[in-house]
Amino acid sequence: MADEKLLNGRVEFIGNQDFLNVDSWRVLRIMAEFVDSFETMNELPAKMVSVFGSARTRPEDPFYQEAQKLGRLLVEAGYGVITGGGPGIMGAANEGAVQAKGESVGLNIELPMEQHPNRHQTKSLNFRYFFTRKVCFLKYSVGICIFPGGFGTMDELFEALTMIQTRKINPVPVVLVGKEYWNGLLAWLKDSMLSNGMIAKGDLDLFITVDTAEEAVEYMMNCHRYGFQRSVVE
């Protein structure tokens, strides 16, 4: 995998000669990945919402069905949908968007397992590197909806919150779908992070939790209709 070769930091060998400038050539590949993705993403409508969640969620799972509904409702409300392009929650949100005849974008990543591009994409981009893919998610999203998921979903959640908290991106509404699933995390944020002074109280206002796709879309629309007032981080 390209990410693995880059981050391992090992010197590569070609024959008996150290190919010491291999990372310099990788920089050109990374630049090309940014250029290609930016050119494609700049053609999208202005209102795109990123939807994150587990690739392992099955179609019979209520969260899969809720994500499918979310994709449809977002399009009906004038938004487009961006996902990681894989199965599970991603495929469900893309499917709902396509059913509503809207923009359904997949930012696919090269992985040794799990990532199989779903077929519900009106635009499909392929990435070798996680960090270039993350830039596209945050750069082109006016909102973020997050369904239950694993490490990758947590990474995407906290990446977004960090960028908003540190003002590296304009504030966007962040919605966690499935209150029961997120309750343990929220309790830990309050009881451990907040109580130990690792975050400010206002940081907990950077996101909300809801139970339904309808609530998520309503919150997203209200934020864009009336303005998203973020908390000031001291």
14 forms beta bridges with: 17
Residue-level pLDDT at 26: 84
Query: What φ, ψ does residue 157 adopt, rounded to 5°?
Result: -60, -55
Residue-level pLDDT at 9: 56
Residue-level pLDDT at 229: 54
Residues in the chain with pLDDT values less than 50: 11-20, 230-234
Residue-level pLDDT at 7: 57
Report helix, strand or coil for 105.
strand
Enter the tokens of residue 138.
Answer: 């945050």
Q: What type of residue sits at position 229?
A: Q
Cβ–Cβ < 8 Å for 92, 72: no
Residue-level pLDDT at 24: 78
DSSP 47: -
Nearest CA-CA partner of 137 in 38, 39, 61 = 38
Domains, the chain, in order of start with CATH, read 46-226 (3.40.50.450)
pLDDT digits (tens, 9 = 90+) for 158-196: 999 999 999 999 999 999 999 999 999 999 999 999 999
Residue-level pLDDT at 158: 98
Query: H helices within 52-165, ranges in order?
Result: 62-76, 89-99, 130-139, 151-165
